[in-house]
Structure 1
Amino acid sequence: MFKRFTIALTFASLLATGGAQAAGGEGYVKDHAFSFEGPFGSYDQDQLRRGLKIYTEVCSSCHGMKFVPIRSLGDEGGPHLSKEEVRVYASDYIEVWDQNLNEGEGDYRAAVPADHFPKSGNANAPDLSLMAKARAGFHGPAGTGINQLVKGMGGSEYILSLLTSYTGEEKTSAGVTLYENTAYPGGWISMGAPLEDEYVEFEDGYPNDLQHLAEDISAFLMWTAEPKLNDRKRAGAVGVLILGFLTLLLYFANKALWRPIKYRKD
């Protein structure tokens, strides 16, 4: 009885954590120089478009992005598809549930730009909308958070490392097949390797080895999690310039106000 309870509890824990075995420490996450990093970094439009293609052809079979409106694919700073491209993408690749169809019983229909991406089709597949912000790739040292200050949170690096760190080893635990992954906390994950070399073809002939595919989808998921990153950085740069100018004005105003007192002759 106790053994069956332990197995059931272990299986429930696997589902709750996305299929990882609880044993082991943090996985190894390698730093990567993405174009959007740093105070002046920005998204690479072509990379985001490739990432969208990878998501559509591979990831969308299990994972949803319910917090991402389809119309945002046309936003400047993102994939920046034309209005017609967004409309065609929505109608050709996405179906949404409409409760008003079929005399109120509901039915699926082709999506329109005003709709959101569907939610995950697999109950155990986490939604990817905010995944790059929900995961931290860098920690410490010793709980200080210095790595995050220097390298950033590392959500996109975590996704990149996860997709490229499968060793090919498998095992079964509590009836669940687990795959060894050196980037995943605990070292074992229930999701098999979703990408491999030449899994997706690009019309422009861009390299489609595993490393490049993983980089593209990681950048795309960073955009879905923070679509206004470019605007935020521009606003921040303007704010810093304004504050710097005001600082100079205050400095010279202070000098002018105190000069008669400082240099007066008693």
Structure 2
Amino acid sequence: MKRVVTLSALVCLLAVTAAAPSAPAAPGAPAKAPKKHRSLLDAVPERGVLRVCTTGDYRPFTYKDPKDGAYSGVDVDMARDLAKSLDAEPRFVDSTWARLVGDLSAGRCDIAVGGVSITLPRARQVHFSEPTRRDGKTPIVRCEDKDRYWTLEEIDRPGTRVIVNPGGTNEQFARAHIKQATLTVHPDNTTIFDEIVEGRADVMMTDASETRYQAKIRPELCSVHPDEPFTFSEKAYATPRGDEEFLEYVDQFVHLATHDGTYARYESQWMD
């Protein structure tokens, strides 16, 4: 009988102990710090590699040569400088406009560059750096048609053939505004402007910076009011959401490069 009473008392004591709140730490004892997220600002120099997601199809910002796979462009040069500043080498990771944000969010790369426009849907998934430049959607057409496609109303008419590349803000803009004209999605942004030159399409609406560049290398094409585009946008570099330290570093890098002439020098190599 005595053994039963003793065991019952022990069970009660354990139950009370389990239900009681934990005792506070002794005065002066250091609190246990939460585990800190390891920033790319530390990981990239230790790794020695900066992984850069880019589409390689958007000159003058990013271009991958189909012959040798070499990357070039304004933002490619900037990415090389960013890697160097972190004591690392750039490693370019192939992506597409439809996958770019997802590739960055999934950890396939450390930063996404190449004429990336800041949008609110993208900003819900990634951080954006300080902008590199202002931009906006504007038409590019054959020069003989320059006066025919000045407004969205003049473009969105039956018989007009609008062409667009898939997966990015160009397609979003075209689908939002083209209701009567014929809209064709062309899968290759490096050859899409040839479709206009060859007469298989009439208009493409893309960022003014791209229309200026394409009009420069294709004299048959003209950019329509690039100084007064249909929309306002800004281009920037995308970094992983949650890594504030890395974002602040990229912000400082962009700020310096856009104010000391570095970015302007890279851009002039393509545009002038």
**Greater percentage in helix:** 1
TM-score, normalised relative to structure 2? 0.21
Larger Rg: 2
- Between Structure 1 and Structure 2, which shows a larger proportion of strand residues? 2
